[in-house]
């Protein structure tokens, strides 16, 4: 074929396009078959690994209970009782939810009656008075609500979950079977609420690291040459730059009032979200190395050449063809990153760069516990229960990671 | 890669590992000290002029000695376990005070020696205090000597036309060393030529910087008549010369009567500052006003003398090295291992060496409370200066637990510029809604005292002005009066604190109490130390936790913080009446009246409440029963040279 | 070899320079400064201190000045430990961290590889399960929890070790074990995986066919092939372990370098923070290079490039 008249080039073009479409279709088909079989195969193998399956079950259970914590008949994680319950060992003595002197149901009833009375007033009021009454109701809903004292101004969804909990269990709550802490708060419920923070840190932080690490590593690995060299030197540099400065810098920049008002608050991003993202932004380094190594060994494989012949661009090859193929390794590595991120959160909180009360995380709970290990008297329940939960979770993640590695190992295929 | 190398590789690895382990084991073991104690953190410096903290104080008081030294009175402890301290003659064998209370004459002890055998002279004190006050040394505690005539002017480089000034030429041998110094020229200041003042900048910090830069461009016209090179003073032909710290780039810009010469400092002549050596053993100190607590200051470690020859020979930071240090206290420094220990040995040259019982002392730096307790319990320490608060109730049952009130207040600063906290009624409501006794009883647990005033109790002759006590009913009333009935309409209030388990617990309790009693929504924010300090200095907070340790046993050390724009005010509090009271107290010669004025000032402070006092600290020490002569006192000072080791029990 | 090392060296110099630059500007962009304290300095004093340390110069001038001195290994005086220069701080702290690190590493390597080999050879046995659970515990239990518990057990229940401090071998053992535990767990798992892969390969079968003893095959042939992942893990791990650990240094009152990393940063001691950062960068680079050289020494197929 020679480059001739426009018309002939057009038909050429059409033909080429048709051909490409066909190739692409073939490719897509091939990919989809291969993809499904790989994952199915891996799942089949994973299911046979008992330790990994138990771990998976445990993790799923943990995540579900973290999400549904407000629904569980737990005590308040923040209402402290210094006079009667400070540092009490685990007990089975019954506990009910109370606000001040009265039980929570009574308080709720009283509060709702007040609000209803006000609402009736609104119905009969006019003009300015009405507006001010509406404001008053809104203000009271937020400020005087009995939940505010027990769950620190819960958000809408959490409040509804607590409503449901009140309907199901009333004032009943599980006794302090894990004891109470230095301010007389129930350790069990703090563990559950802490799970929310710790698991979110683990997941969001890891997800951010995944996003940055995979795209960065894959790009470096695919481009190779000086681009790769420069990109990897940059990673080397970031490995060495003291992370404290990086964290403080990012947090300060992102929590400046004007930036916060303009870019973050409209999207509902708060301090703790920033913190999660910052952790992810620190943990992507190793991920990018792992991905780069994998991509480098894959990029001369035939399926990449095939994609290239069909005219796929660099970006497309990287994200459509290469990245899915390194996911196996990445998933295994993820199961190692999550625990590391969770421990890192504990360390940052210890330095004052992490979560603030009344939010609580497992790392903070363990820190509190470790501080009271003394030969004179040990408040063992303050270390044991948070330590056990964190260790079990990390254990589960490790076993699951091992299982996934075995399951995704191509040499184990069809075995 | 040659095969031989490859073959040898495993052996090389083994060799390296064994070698490394051998090296790691080579750190010899130390002979045990007679007495070890935990000094808390690593001392930042052992230069008396530059140190500010109590770990530094313990070491410096062992190595150096001032004119006077705090000494426990020979009386049995009072009801709270305290033995009062008084400044007693140390390097000075005696002193006299003039009628008007403004001139002290110290007689230096003839047997006072430096550790290298030289005699300690009055000149050593003049030189040390000069170094302490010199702006180039930049001592944080320099204000401790502001009671001396002209000392403040000298320290802050303020000069006026007509003053005799000293001009230092930029010919120092080493720019980094405040000493030895360059050539000094003396003469009367005739005129100050100032370039146009820079436009004020909105940002206060930048403005202050611009102003101090501007000040450096002033040209000083001086009639020079004396020149000093090191110690050689010679009178010279009087000439009018012009000096400037940073001279303008183009010489024509400033209309000066002579060529503008660069210089390092233009200070008021040190001879006009109120400290003089009339002979080798007589030191005369002139004060601005009668200062009843001046003897306490003289016993305070920043005023301890340093050895001029040593400082000049080795310079900073080398003169404080164990092998170079020349000191005059009861102990010498044998060696110092960073963040591990300072080993002190008895100083045979010390004038009172026969009464120093301990031969070898280890001052360990163990920052963690529980580790310190562990080391104490296993006999590695004889004295632990801290204890974990969680087990305070258990510890306080023990005989070796020594607890005493202290001149330190834990308090919350309130930013009085930010609504709604600008309303004193809101601040009062917040104060009255805090149950301080439960914080002391259940959170700090060390026997701390709930605070209703800013100045801690125990200062002779002073009666504190009190803030309202815990009363939720009244608090709600006050808040309603301020226009926020039931807390409605009040925005969220943020408490900031630096990361620490204790601060966190207290903040959590206070947040809960405010919510419970006032319906105030509280947000807690822990900040990393550097960020916290910055937030405090910029006054960018609602409520911030703070603490203040008395510099000297007098209410003034607490109360003068809150004068308008005071360096440590940091709350935005500005009240002309308060400023006036503090100024009146400073110039009041009658001690009793002065205390009354200070009482009025505190009453005003507690009425306005730019700070909410929470509790007064107690010092907590665990001291092995074999240690004798350990007395509890308000300052938490325990002179090492008085301690003795006896048989336990 | 020489060319490889030279190239590495040049890369290292470049990396050090970039780390220096990034850290320099990052430190100064962070709020708070070295001369902030709970007691506020008067502006005049602050100005004098800043002048003394040349903090009033324009940032670019400071940068060039610091870079010039850093190039001659002079990081200047520490701003917060006023009796020391940064070089002295590092010279005192590093040997301590290093000797603790060496013990921890030797312990981790010995225990880790032994457990890994035994688990791999006796796969699915009680040994295997036991070792792997132990290894997971080592990885999963945060080492400050481990250390606190170890103190209660081995100091107060069984009087085996002193509570804390530095200077004798007995004081070294407990912290070294706690520091090494997670590394031991990791190494054990890496060794086991490596061994399992290698044991199925042809050259092992050949070795057995030659009639070599089981012991010889495992230790001389299989281990050589299985150890590569461990070595590549060792590089960064050693750099980390040699520069100390804040938490363990606090619990055991050890005057190592780890605390300086954190404290220099939180106190904004710029010169010290810079010094320890560059030492760490150097160590990391040095260890990674060592790893690459060892690869080539162990495996003849690998060429240094």
pLDDT digits (tens, 9 = 90+) for B609-641: 999 999 999 999 999 999 999 999 888 889 999
Q: Which of residues 11-70 of B touch A (CB under 8 A)?
A: none
Per-residue confidence (pLDDT) for residue A369, from 0 to 100: 86
Q: Which of residues 405-464 of B touch A (CB under 8 A)?
A: 438, 441-443
What is the mean pLDDT for each group of 10 consecutive residues in chain B (649 residues)?
71 80 70 90 91 90 95 86 90 94 94 95 95 90 91 92 92 78 90 88 78 88 90 89 85 75 92 94 93 89 94 90 95 93 95 94 91 92 90 90 91 92 94 94 90 91 90 94 88 89 91 90 86 86 92 88 84 93 87 92 94 94 92 89 79
**Which pTM value belongs to this model?**
0.88
Portion of chain A with pLDDT greater than 70, in percent: 92
Chain position carrying tokens 């060592």:
C290
Closest Cα of chain A to B626: distance in Å?
A: 21
User: How many contacts, defined by CB atoms under 8 Å, are there between A and B?
Assistant: 96
- The SS3 of residue B588 is coil
Instruction: Taking each helix axis as running N to C, give the angle between helix C270-298 and helix B3-25, from 0 to 180 degrees, rounded to the nearest 10.
Output: 140
**Which tokens in the block code for residue A133?**
């009454």
- The SS3 of residue B36 is strand
Contacts of the segment B393-397: beta carbons below 8 A, 24+ positions apart: B393/B445, B394/A376, B394/A377, B395/A376, B395/B622, B396/B446, B396/B447
Mean pLDDT of the A211-225 span: 89
Radius of gyration of chain B (CA): 28
User: How many contacts, defined by CB atoms under 8 Å, are there between B and C?
Assistant: 173
Chain position carrying tokens 């079968």:
C205
**Which tokens in the block code for residue B475?**
């608090």
Bridge-based pairing state of the strands B522-527 and B493-498 = parallel
Q: Name the nearest CA neighbour of C33 among A3, A366, B464, B205.
A: B205
Mean pLDDT of the A307-323 span: 83
Q: Name the nearest CA neighbour of B50 among B311, B334, B332, B339.
A: B311
Residue A2 pLDDT > 60: no
Q: How far is C-alpha C111 from the geometric centre of its chain's CA atoms?
A: 18
3-state SS of chain A is CCCCCHHHHHHHHHHHHHHHHHHHHHHHHHHHHHHHHHHHHHHHHHHHCHHHHHHHHHHHHHHHHHHCHHHCCCCCCCCCCCCCCCCCCCCCCCEECEECCEEHHHHHHHHHHHHHHHHHHHHHCCHHHHHHHHHHHHHHHHHCCHHHHHHCCCCHHHHHHHHHHHHHHCCEECCCCCCECCCCCEHHHHHHHHHHHHHHHHHHHHHHHHHHHHHHHHHHHHHCHHHHHHHHHHHHHHHHCCHHHHHHHHHHHHCCHHHHHHHHHHHCCCHHHHHHHHHHHHHHHHHHHHHHHHHHHHCCCHHHHHHHHCCCCHHHHHHHHHHHHHHHHHHHHHHHHHHHHHHHHHHHHHHCCCCCCCCCCHHHHHHHHHHCECCCCECHHHHHHHHHHHHHHHHHHHHHHHHHHHHHCHHHCCC
Angle at B376 between CA B370 and CA B377, to 5 degrees: 90
Nearest to C136 among A387, A390, A398 (CB): A398
Nearest to A144 among B489, B519, B524 (CB): B519
Q: Where are the domains of chain C?
A: 89-266
Counting every residue, how long is chain B? 649
Determine the residue of chain A that is closest to B525 in CA distance: A356
Contact status of B506 with chain A (Cβ, < 8 Å): no
Chains that touch C (3 or more CB pairs under 8 A): A, B
Contact C1 B42 (CB under 8 A): no
- Regions of chain C where pLDDT drops below 50: none
Contact B370 A377 (CB under 8 A): no
Contact A368 B526 (CB under 8 A): no
Per-residue confidence (pLDDT) for residue B28, from 0 to 100: 61
Helices and strands: H and E segment counts in chain C: 14, 0
A44 falls in which pLDDT band (50, 70, 90)? confident
Tell me how far CA of residue C126 lies from CA of A271, C109, C119, C130, in angstroms. 48, 22, 9, 6
Region for residue B188 given its phi and psi (left: phi exceeds 0; alpha: psi -120 to 50; beta: otherwise): beta
Tell me how far CA of residue A26 lies from CA of A21, A307, B300, B387, in angstroms. 9, 11, 88, 73
Contact B519 A252 (CB under 8 A): no
Mean pLDDT of the A301-330 span: 82
- Please give the CATH topology (third level) of the domain spanning C89-266: MetI-like fold (1.10.3720)
Contact status of A78 with chain B (Cβ, < 8 Å): yes
Query: How far apart, in whole angstroms, are the C-alpha atoms of residue B528 and residue A51?
Result: 41
**Which tokens in the block code for residue B31?**
């002979």
Residue A46 pLDDT > 60: yes
Contact A375 C266 (CB under 8 A): no
Please provide the average confidence, as pLDDT, over all residues in chain A. Answer: 82
Chain position carrying tokens 């005057």:
C255
Q: Name the nearest CA neighbour of B406 among B468, B455, B464.
A: B455
Q: Which residues pair with B494 in a beta bridge?
A: B523
Nearest to A244 among C139, C142, C262 (CB): C262
Tell me how far CA of residue B557 lies from CA of B553, B560, B613, in angstroms. 8, 6, 16
Nearest to C255 among B143, B338, B380 (CB): B338
Nearest to C23 among A233, A241, A387 (CB): A241
Contact A237 C26 (CB under 8 A): no
Nearest to B525 among A143, A149, A356 (CB): A356
**At B278, which helix (H) or strand (E)?**
strand B275-279
Contact B378 C167 (CB under 8 A): no
What is the maximum alpha-carbon separation in chain B? 94
Bridge-based pairing state of the strands B85-89 and B219-229 = unpaired
- The SS3 of residue B106 is strand
On whether the CB atoms of residues B212 and C47 are closer than 8 A, the answer is yes
Chains that touch B (3 or more CB pairs under 8 A): A, C
**At B333, which helix (H) or strand (E)?**
strand B331-337
Q: Name the nearest CA neighbour of B322 among B525, B63, B522.
A: B63
Chain position carrying tokens 């009680």:
C126
List all residues 6 or more positions away from B277 whose beta carbon is below 8 Å from its beta carbon.
Answer: B121, B122, B123, B125, B126, B283, B284
Tell me how far CA of residue B610 lies from CA of B280, B467, B582, in angstroms. 50, 11, 16
Contact A394 C31 (CB under 8 A): no
Residue A415 pLDDT > 70: no
List all residues 6 or more positions away from C230 whose beta carbon is below 8 Å from its beta carbon.
Answer: C112, C113, C187, C190, C191, C194
Per-residue confidence (pLDDT) for residue B255, from 0 to 100: 74
Sort B78 into a burial class: Cβ within 10 Å, 0-12 / 13-18 / 19+.
Answer: exposed
Is the sign of the CA dihedral B45, B50, B51, B57 positive or negative? positive
Query: How far apart, in whole angstroms, are the C-alpha atoms of residue A117 and residue A120?
Result: 5
Q: Which of the residues B9, B52, B140 would you substitute to probe the C interface, choosing the one with the greatest number of C C-beta atoms within 10 Å? A: B140
On whether the CB atoms of residues B378 and C162 are closer than 8 A, the answer is yes
Q: Which of the residues B442, B479, B514 would you substitute to probe the A interface, choosing the one with the greatest number of A C-beta atoms within 10 Å? A: B442
Chain position carrying tokens 């090859």:
A317
Which chain A residues are closer than 8 Å to B531 by Cβ?
Answer: 248, 252, 352
3-state SS of B216-265 is CCCEEEEEEEEEEECCEEEEEEEEEEEEECCCCCCHHHCCCCCCEEECCE
Contact status of C13 with chain A (Cβ, < 8 Å): no
Q: Name the nearest CA neighbour of B127 among B334, B303, B330, B313.
A: B303
Bridge-based pairing state of the strands B611-623 and B522-527 = unpaired
Contact B537 C252 (CB under 8 A): no
Contact status of C164 with chain A (Cβ, < 8 Å): no
Contact A375 B377 (CB under 8 A): yes
Q: Which residues pair with B618 in a beta bridge?
A: B405
Contact A241 C19 (CB under 8 A): yes
DSSP summary character for residue B641: G
**At B332, which helix (H) or strand (E)?**
strand B331-337
Angle at B512 between CA B457 and CA A114, to 5 degrees: 130
Radius of gyration of chain C (CA): 24
On whether the CB atoms of residues A328 and A408 are closer than 8 A, the answer is yes
Per-residue confidence (pLDDT) for residue B2, from 0 to 100: 65
Determine the residue of chain B that is closest to A374 in CA distance: B370
Q: Name the nearest CA neighbour of A404 among A319, A322, A327.
A: A327
Per-residue confidence (pLDDT) for residue A1, from 0 to 100: 40
Q: Which of residues 209-268 of B touch C (CB under 8 A)?
A: 209, 212
Instruction: Taking each helix axis as running N to C, give the angle between helix B3-25 and helix C86-121, from 0 to 180 degrees, rounded to the nearest 10.
Output: 120
Residue A35 pLDDT > 60: no
- The SS3 of residue B522 is strand
Closest Cα of chain A to B234: distance in Å?
A: 54
On whether the CB atoms of residues A279 and A341 are closer than 8 A, the answer is yes
């Amino acid at each position: 074929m020679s480059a001739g008249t426009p018309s002939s080039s057009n038909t050429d073009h059409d033909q080429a396009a048709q051909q490409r479409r066909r190739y692409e279709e073939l490719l897509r088909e091939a990919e989809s078959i291969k993809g499904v079989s790989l994952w199915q195969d891996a799942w089949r193998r994973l299911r046979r690994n008992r330790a990994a399956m138990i771990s998976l079950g445990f993790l799923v259970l943990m995540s579900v209970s973290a999400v549904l914590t407000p629904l569980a008949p737990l005590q308040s994680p923040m209402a402290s009782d210094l006079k009667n319950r400070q540092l009490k060992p685990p007990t089975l003595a019954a506990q009910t939810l109370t606000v001040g002197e009265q039980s929570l149901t009574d308080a709720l009833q009283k509060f709702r009656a007040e609000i209803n009375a006000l609402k009736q007033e609104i119905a009969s009021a006019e003009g300015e008075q009405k507006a001010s009454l509406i404001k008053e109701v809104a203000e009271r809903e937020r400020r005087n609500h009995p939940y505010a004292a027990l769950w620190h101004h819960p958000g809408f969804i959490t409040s509804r979950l607590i409503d449901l909990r009140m309907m199901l269990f009333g004032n009943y709550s599980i006794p302090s079977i894990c004891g109470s802490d230095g301010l007389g708060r129930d350790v069990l419920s703090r563990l559950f609420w802490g799970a929310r923070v710790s698991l979110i840190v683990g997941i969001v932080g890891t997800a951010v690291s995944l996003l940055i690490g995979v795209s960065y590593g894959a790009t470096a690995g695919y481009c190779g040459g000086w681009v790769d060299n420069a990109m990897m030197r940059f990673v080397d540099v970031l490995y060495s730059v003291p992370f404290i400065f990086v964290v403080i810098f990012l947090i300060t920049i992102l929590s400046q009032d004007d930036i916060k008002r303009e870019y973050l608050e409209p999207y509902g991003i708060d301090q703790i979200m920033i913190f999660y993202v910052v952790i992810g932004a620190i943990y992507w380094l190793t991920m990018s190395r792992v991905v780069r190594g994998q991509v480098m060994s894959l990029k001369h494989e035939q399926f990449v050449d095939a994609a290239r012949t069909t005219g796929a661009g660099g970006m497309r090859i990287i994200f459509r063809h290469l990245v899915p193929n390194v996911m196996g390794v990445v998933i295994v590595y993820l199961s190692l990153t999550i625990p590391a991120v969770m421990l890192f959160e504990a360390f940052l909180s210890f330095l004052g760069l992490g979560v603030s009360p009344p939010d609580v995380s497992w790392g903070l709970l363990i820190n509190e516990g470790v501080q009271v290990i003394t030969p004179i008297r040990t408040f063992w329940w303050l270390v044991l229960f948070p330590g056990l939960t964190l260790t079990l979770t990390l254990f589960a993640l490790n076993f699951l990671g091992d299982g996934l590695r075995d399951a995704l190992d191509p040499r184990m295929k069809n075995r | 890669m040659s095969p031989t190398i490859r073959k040898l590789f495993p052996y090389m690895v083994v060799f390296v590992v064994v070698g490394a382990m051998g090296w790691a084991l080579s750190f010899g073991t130390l002979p045990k000290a007679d007495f070890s104690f935990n000094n808390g953190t690593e001392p930042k410096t052992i230069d008396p002029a530059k140190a500010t903290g109590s770990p530094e104080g313990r070491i410096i008081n062992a190595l150096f000695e001032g004119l006077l030294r705090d000494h426990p009175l020979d009386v049995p402890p009072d009801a709270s376990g305290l033995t009062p301290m008084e400044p007693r003659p140390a390097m000075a064998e005696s002193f006299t005070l003039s009628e008007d209370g403004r001139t002290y004459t110290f007689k230096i002890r003839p047997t006072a020696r430096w550790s290298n055998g030289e005699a300690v002279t009055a000149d050593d004190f003049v030189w040390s205090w000069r170094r302490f006050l010199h702006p180039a040394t930049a001592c944080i505690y320099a204000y401790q000597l502001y009671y001396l005539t002209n000392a403040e002017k000298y320290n802050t480089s303020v000069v006026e036309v007509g003053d005799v000034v000293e001009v230092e030429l930029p010919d120092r041998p080493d720019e980094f060393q405040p000493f030895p110094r360059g050539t000094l020229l003396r003469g009367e200041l005739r005129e100050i030529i100032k370039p146009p003042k820079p436009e004020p900048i909105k940002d206060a910090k930048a403005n202050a910087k611009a102003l101090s830069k501007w000040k450096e461009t002033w040209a000083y016209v001086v009639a020079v008549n004396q020149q000093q090179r090191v110690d050689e003073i010679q009178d010279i032909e009087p000439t009018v010369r012009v000096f400037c710290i940073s001279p303008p780039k183009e010489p024509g810009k400033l209309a000066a009567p002579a060529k503008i010469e660069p210089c390092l400092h233009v200070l008021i002549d040190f001879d006009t500052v109120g400290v003089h050596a009339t002979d080798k053993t007589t030191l005369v100190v002139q004060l601005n006003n009668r200062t009843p607590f001046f003897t306490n200051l003289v016993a305070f470690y920043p005023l301890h003398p340093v050895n001029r020859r040593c400082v000049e020979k080795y310079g900073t930071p080398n003169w404080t090295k164990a092998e170079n240090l020349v000191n005059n206290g009861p102990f010498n420094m044998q060696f110092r291992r960073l963040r591990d220990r300072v080993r002190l040995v008895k100083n045979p040259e010390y004038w009172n060496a026969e009464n120093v019982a301990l031969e070898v002392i280890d001052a360990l730096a163990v920052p963690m409370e529980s580790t310190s307790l562990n080391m104490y319990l296993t006999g590695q320490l004889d004295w632990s200066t801290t204890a974990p608060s969680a087990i305070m109730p258990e510890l306080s049952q023990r005989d070796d637990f020594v607890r005493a009130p202290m001149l330190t207040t834990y308090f919350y600063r309130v930013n009085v510029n930010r609504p709604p906290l600008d309303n004193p009624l809101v601040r009062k409501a917040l104060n009255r809604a805090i149950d301080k006794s439960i914080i002391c009883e259940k959170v700090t647990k060390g026997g701390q005292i709930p605070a209703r005033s800013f100045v801690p109790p125990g200062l002779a002759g002073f009666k504190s002005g009190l803030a309202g006590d815990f009363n939720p009913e009244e608090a709600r009333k006050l808040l309603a009066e301020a226009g926020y009935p039931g807390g409605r309409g009040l925005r969220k209030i943020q408490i900031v604190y630096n990361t620490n388990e204790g601060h966190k617990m207290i903040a959590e309790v206070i947040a809960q109490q405010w919510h419970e009693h006032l319906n105030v929504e509280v947000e807690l924010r822990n900040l990393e130390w550097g960020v916290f300090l910055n937030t405090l200095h910029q006054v960018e907070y609602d409520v911030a936790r703070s603490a203040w340790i008395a510099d000297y046993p007098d209410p003034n050390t607490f109360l003068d913080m809150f004068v308008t724009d005071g360096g440590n005010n940091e709350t935005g509090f500005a009240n002309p009446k308060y400023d006036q009271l503090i100024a009146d107290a400073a110039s009041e010669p009658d001690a009793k009246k002065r205390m009354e004025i200070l009482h009025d000032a505190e009453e005003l402070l507690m009425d306005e409440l730019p700070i909410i006092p929470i509790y007064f600290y107690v010092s907590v020490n665990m001291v092995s029963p074999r240690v004798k002569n350990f007395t509890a006192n308000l300052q938490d000072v325990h002179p090492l040279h008085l301690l003795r080791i006896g048989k336990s029990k | 070899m020489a060319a490889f090392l030279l190239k590495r060296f040049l890369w290292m110099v470049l990396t050090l320079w970039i780390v220096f630059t990034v850290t320099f500007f990052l430190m100064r962009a962070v709020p708070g400064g070295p001369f902030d304290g709970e007691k506020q300095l008067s502006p005049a004093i602050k100005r004098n201190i800043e002048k003394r340390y040349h903090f009033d110069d324009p940032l670019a001038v400071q940068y060039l000045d610091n870079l010039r001195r850093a190039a001659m290994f002079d990081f200047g005086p520490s701003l917060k430990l006023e009796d020391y220069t940064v070089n002295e701080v590092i010279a005192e702290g590093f040997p301590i961290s290093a000797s603790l690190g060496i013990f921890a590493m030797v312990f981790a390597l010995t225990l880790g590889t032994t457990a890994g080999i035994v688990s791999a050879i006796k796969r699915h046995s009680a040994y295997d399960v036991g070792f792997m659970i132990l290894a997971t515990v080592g990885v999963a239990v945060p080492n400050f929890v481990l250390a606190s518990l170890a103190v209660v057990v081995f100091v107060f229940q069984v009087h085996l070790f002193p509570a804390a401090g530095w200077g004798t071998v007995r004081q070294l053992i407990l912290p070294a074990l706690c520091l090494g535990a997670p590394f031991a767990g990791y190494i054990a798992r890496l060794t086991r995986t490596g061994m399992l892969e290698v044991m199925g390969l042809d050259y092992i079968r050949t070795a057995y066919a030659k009639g070599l003893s089981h012991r010889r095959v495992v230790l001389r042939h299989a281990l050589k092939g299985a150890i590569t992942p461990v070595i590549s893990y060792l590089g960064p791990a050693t750099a980390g372990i040699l520069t100390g650990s804040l938490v363990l240094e606090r619990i055991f009152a050890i005057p190592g370098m780890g605390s300086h990393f954190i404290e220099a940063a939180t106190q904004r001691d710029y010169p010290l923070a810079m010094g320890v950062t560059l030492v760490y960068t150097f160590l990391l680079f040095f260890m990674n290079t060592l790893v690459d050289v060892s690869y080539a020494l162990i495996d003849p197929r690998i060429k240094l490039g």
